[in-house]
Structure 1
Amino acid sequence: MRLLLTSAGIKNASIHNTLVELLGKPIAECDALFIPTAIYPFPGGAGMAWQAVSGKSASLLADLGWKSMGILELTALPSIGEAAWLPAVRDADVLLVWGGDPLFLADWMRRSGLAAVLPTLRSEAVYVGVSAGSIAATSTFVETYEEPPRANSGPLKSEEVVFTSPQGDVDRILVTGHGVGLADFAVIPHFQHPDHADASTANAEKWAARIPAPTYAIDDDTAISVVDGVTRVVSEGQWKLFQP
């Protein structure tokens, strides 16, 4: 399976051209499945999911002119038979995995059975991640929370307070998570974005220091492609590689 891991979707011509290159044919000839699951833990998540699916989000993904578009809701899959959803996954040219909470997404990728299916998909299929969708594709990652979430088995492993908001009123806890292992590196999206202060250079460095793998901090104009184990950075913006 080929990967295109982005911070904010298909934001510029370089990332768009790379997507077409990975697909191996025009977007208008490709069947897509959209996975909105990661956005639901956020207040207003249902509305944000609709915006993403309907193409009304600022991050381009669903509205690129696909031949067909289906919705794959991971939280529904355990309650239905594989025969109802697995053929659509195997037939799709591209899986579009939206942003949100990477811990929630990675958990449901495993619980739904999708994580086990992904490595068996045909080699020309493409996984496109946005933010949390990119993070969850990796093996190990960290994320910050005001209140660490809980897994079914109890609290997830939390580390320490590593970020205080610019106003000094919100401390965040760094939490270690495990993705589905499609990539052997980690991703920190929204690098140096004014609305994502916890992804500043200083904080990204703190995050990366706790990840036992190379870590790419990428801004919204940067993406990472992986084809046959070869990693390439595509950028019209800023990015930084932190070694473990």
Structure 2
Amino acid sequence: MKLLLTSAGFRNKSIEDALVGLLGKPVAESHALYIPTAAHAMAMGPTFIYQLIRGLDTEAPLLNLDWKSVAVLELTALPTVGEQQWVPMVRDADVLLVDGGDTLYLHHWMRESGLADLFPSLTDTVYVGLSAGSVVMATSIWEKFVHWQPATGSHETLGVVDFSIFPHLNHKDMPAHATAVAEQWAAGLSVPGYAIDDETAIKVVDGDIEVVSEGDWKLYNP
């Protein structure tokens, strides 16, 4: 997969341009598959999902572009339906839009549903993460950002990329994401870590990493 790991979606033209470059064609010719699962583990999560689908969420937009088509894939439903019901939809999508919420809840359902097993074969698919949708692809989640706990007690994430992500850097409404807190997070890293604000994304193609930003970010090396 080609990855575009954002803190808050398509917040600026630089991130939108990076998306088009990864797609290799206009957004208006691209089929998107929206995955809202992570939000269900949050208070008001269903409300946030509704607002995003209606185009009312301007703080963290994912569906605000002129997609050719958009479908919704709810991971919690997949174990109860046959793979023939949803695997072709995933393979046919040009882009997976994976919303934010609780990272470990999303990780659990990516594994439980079987979606994560498909990732290695989706070589031409663009994966766009928003907040938790980005962090889940990294090596781990910081214990201070853990809310929902899996039965195993593990803080494991997918490890598709070999770095860690600290989203929403210096967000005005999130004191737990201030630079001083990011420094604490970075002090415990054993891999490189990117602290990114909502105007920043990390593009990863074939292991090559590029930061796309109209805002602030910092790379911390262990």
Partner of 1:219: 197
1:20-39 alignment, distance < 5 Å: 20-39=20-39
Give runs of ≥4 in structure 1 deviating > 3 Å.
Answer: none
Partner of 2:84: 83
1:201 paired to 2:179: yes
1:14 paired to 2:8: no
Give the Cα–Cα distance (whole angstroms) in 2 for the partners of residues 45 and 215 of structure 1: 27
Partner of 1:72: 73
Question: With structure 2 as the length reference, what TM-score do the two structures score?
Answer: 0.95
Q: How many residues align?
A: 221
1:52 paired to 2:52: yes
Determine if contact 1:222/1:237 at 8 Å carries over to the other structure. yes
Partner of 1:114: 115
Give the Cα–Cα distance (whole angstroms) in 2 for the partners of residues 15 and 55 of structure 1: 18
Partner of 1:172: none
Determine if contact 1:191/1:217 at 8 Å carries over to the other structure. yes
Give the Cα–Cα distance (whole angstroms) in 1 for the partners of residues 13 and 191 of structure 2: 29
Determine if contact 1:6/1:222 at 8 Å carries over to the other structure. yes
Moved more, 11-20 or 42-51: 42-51
Give the Cα–Cα distance (whole angstroms) in 1 for the partners of residues 115 and 142 of structure 2: 22
Alpha-carbon distance change, 89 to 18 in structure 1, aligned in 2, over 3 angstroms: same
1:240 paired to 2:211: no
Q: Which runs of 5+ in 2 are unaligned?
A: none
Partner of 1:163: none
Partner of 1:101: 102
RMSD, aligned α-carbons? 1.4
Q: Which has the higher strand share?
A: 1
Determine if contact 2:41/2:148 at 8 Å carries over to the other structure. no
- Matched residues, percent identical? 51
Q: Which runs of 5+ in 1 are unaligned?
A: 158-176
Give the Cα–Cα distance (whole angstroms) in 2 for the partners of residues 10 and 71 of structure 1: 18
1:151 paired to 2:150: yes
Give how far 1:212 is off.
2.0
Larger radius of gyration: 1
Give how far 1:198 is off.
1.1
Cα deviation code 1:110-154 (max 9, x no counterpart)? 111111111111x22100000010001112221525x8533123x
Give the Cα–Cα distance (whole angstroms) in 1 for the partners of residues 14 and 86 of structure 2: 33
Partner of 1:188: 166
Give the Cα–Cα distance (whole angstroms) in 1 for the partners of residues 53 and 164 of structure 2: 26
2:209 match: secondary structure: strand
Give how far 1:210 is off.
2.4
Give the Cα–Cα distance (whole angstroms) in 1 for the partners of residues 53 and 144 of structure 2: 26
Give the Cα–Cα distance (whole angstroms) in 1 for the partners of residues 149 and 205 of structure 2: 34
1:76 match: secondary structure: helix
Determine if contact 1:20/1:26 at 8 Å carries over to the other structure. yes
